[in-house]
Amino acid sequence: MNTDTTPPDFWSHVDVAGGPDACWPWMLRRHVRGYGRLSYKGFRAYAHVVAFVSSGGVLTPDRPWVLHSCDNPCCCNPRHLRAGTPKDNADDREKRCRSKKRARSDFSLMVKRSGTSTPYFGVSARGKRFRAYFNAGRNQVFIGTFDTAIEAAHARDAAVMIEYGGKMALNFPVPK
């Protein structure tokens, strides 16, 4: 790991509990589009970029972007990250059927999640437990209360998949 560019406690803010092949979500501050954000030595950075570079990934002038293979913007698992170009990113978007219209609807859902105290969509802390829910129009649908935020996030994703077939933003996107 490159310790010169990695904050000392960086990996302690990444949830690696899912194992080596799962998404590793950034647990602190996020950009409105879901990307993990941090400040280090006076600079702002995306968490997935820091994860990629600190794990030995190299960004070059011809491949300056870090792309996700999992479509989960908060994921910091180096196995899900690769260097690429804006064109590679656009090609991935087309290949995975993520049109501009879909991206806008996902963006609006991410903005509506303000006020939660966890980094997951549709999960809020209630004392030492976590409440899972999703919004259906003007109504909020309560799913249940869980011991961990990850359990609540998985339950919320399962309920959204049943109700909307994945047309709503997910915490752990399902590969297509």
In whole angstroms, what separates CA 98 from the centre of its chain? 16
Give the span between the Cα atoms of 55 and 119, in whole angstroms: 23
pLDDT along the chain (176 residues), means of 10: 66 90 90 84 87 91 91 91 92 73 44 55 84 84 88 89 80 73
Instruction: Tell me what pLDDT residue 78 has.
Output: 95
Instruction: Tell me what pLDDT residue 49 has.
Output: 92
Listed by start position, the domains of the chain span 10-95, 100-164
Cα Rg of the chain, angstroms: 17
Instruction: Tell me what pLDDT residue 48 has.
Output: 93
C-beta separation of 149 from 131 below 8 A: no
Instruction: Tell me what pLDDT residue 92 has.
Output: 84
CATH number of 100-164: 3.30.730, 3.30.70, 3.90.1570, 3.90.550?
A: 3.30.730
Sequence-ordered list of residues with C-beta below 8 angstroms from that of 8, at least 6 positions apart, any chain: none
C-beta separation of 171 from 153 below 8 A: yes
Instruction: Tell me what pLDDT residue 176 has.
Output: 60
Sequence-ordered list of residues with C-beta below 8 angstroms from that of 79, at least 6 positions apart, any chain: 20, 21
Give the span between the Cα atoms of 108 and 68, in whole angstroms: 21
Give the span between the Cα atoms of 94 and 117, in whole angstroms: 33
CATH architecture classification, 10-95: Alpha-Beta Complex (3.90)
pTM of the complete model: 0.55
Give the span between the Cα atoms of 85 and 146, in whole angstroms: 40
Instruction: Show the 3-state SS of 40-70.
Output: ECCEEEEHHHHHHHHCCCCCECCECEEEECC
